[in-house]
Amino acid sequence: MPIKIDSNLPAHKLLENENIFVMTEERAVSQDIRPLKILILNLMPTKIETETQILRLLSNSPIQVEAELLQTATHEVKNVSKEHMLKFYKTFDDIKNERFDGMVVTGAPVENMEFEQVDYWDELCRIFEWSKTNVYSSFFICWGAQAALYYKYGLKKYQLDKKMFGVFEHVSLDTFHPLMRGLDDKFWVPHSRHTEVRRGDIALIKDIQILSYSEKSGVHLISDMECRNFFSTGHSEYDRDTLAKEYFRDVEKGLDIDLPENYFPDNDPSKTPEVKWRSAANIIFSNWLNYFVYQRTPYDLSTLWQEGKGKWEIFTYQATEEEIRILRISR
């Protein structure tokens, strides 16, 4: 997918070096198509690394994507320059009158705190509420997923006895679901978290379903029944060395941290980790963009929410009986 981003963004050069098609503004405006507008709410302290990881995954499809980076105004960013944030990031006040085809919300290293204790929680809730009418489909990652599940459904998170840390094998619980199309019977996903959501709690909420699961790391992908909101407890976007960086960082701090599971060859941290989650990551994000953003969002985003009707318009897309059976969408 040609992805349109500012040519001065650090990710631009990094992705070009990987032979990923990054489109300039000048070329984008010459094409007689409307790109998908995707908002990325980046809550991670490693802004540049995370924005590059997400943009890389959004690039793997034949559709043009226009990405917008969003930060929370109520939290002071310390790990990246103010110049970078001012130049490339917007705040909610900047975009609250806009509409987007899709939104990605990243994780954040605040999971040991209660949701309400996070300094930008109120602002995040406003963004979640705004997205109901201004974003067609959203994809939430790790703590971002836990936060959205708590806000939307009151789903609690639970503290783990020790950090879920490593790359774990998963299986699909609904192999016919379009988000899961193309995945192997077993696929790998990195996890790095101290908390979890539980399968039994999710089963009590009729409006959401579990799509994939791991015997070791638990619930992975969750969807609402309208397939407008997707929640991932893992980090499919991670680079080869992301878990290694987290491990060595904690070792240097003197923290009690285990080696990430199924990651370093022979459990030897001096060896280069083998990537075994990249293909699954690309499939999941490509399926989300194709089936749940591109094929369903309206061409004219100003019609996204029909004021006064109190409902979403699904526009010209009509699900087949088989899709309705598979997706269990209530129209």
**End-to-end distance of the chain based on CA atoms, in angstroms?**
31
* 284 close to 183: Cβ distance less than 8 angstroms: yes
Q: Please classify residue 185 by burial: count the beta carbons closer than 10 Å to its beta carbon, then call 0-12 exposed, 13-18 middle and 19+ buried.
A: exposed
Q: Please classify residue 223 by burial: count the beta carbons closer than 10 Å to its beta carbon, then call 0-12 exposed, 13-18 middle and 19+ buried.
A: buried
Q: What is the largest CA-CA distance in the chain?
A: 61
Q: Which residues neighbour 269 within 8 Å (Cβ) at sequence distance 6 or greater?
A: 244, 247, 248, 259
Establish whether 12 is a catalytic residue. no
Active-site pick, 51, 66, 111, 237: 237
Rounded Cα distance between 316 and 295, Å, is: 10
Active-site pick, 12, 170, 191, 235: 235
Establish whether 194 is a catalytic residue. no
Establish whether 98 is a catalytic residue. no
Instruction: Kindly list the distances between the CA atom of residue 234 and the CA atoms of 153, 158, 197, 213, 294, in Å, as whole numbers in the listed order.
Output: 20, 15, 12, 11, 24
Rounded Cα distance between 48 and 56, Å, is: 12
Rounded Cα distance between 331 and 329, Å, is: 6
Rounded Cα distance between 148 and 106, Å, is: 11
Active-site pick, 142, 170, 177, 227: 142
Rounded Cα distance between 231 and 269, Å, is: 31
Supply the residues annotated as catalytic.
142, 235, 237
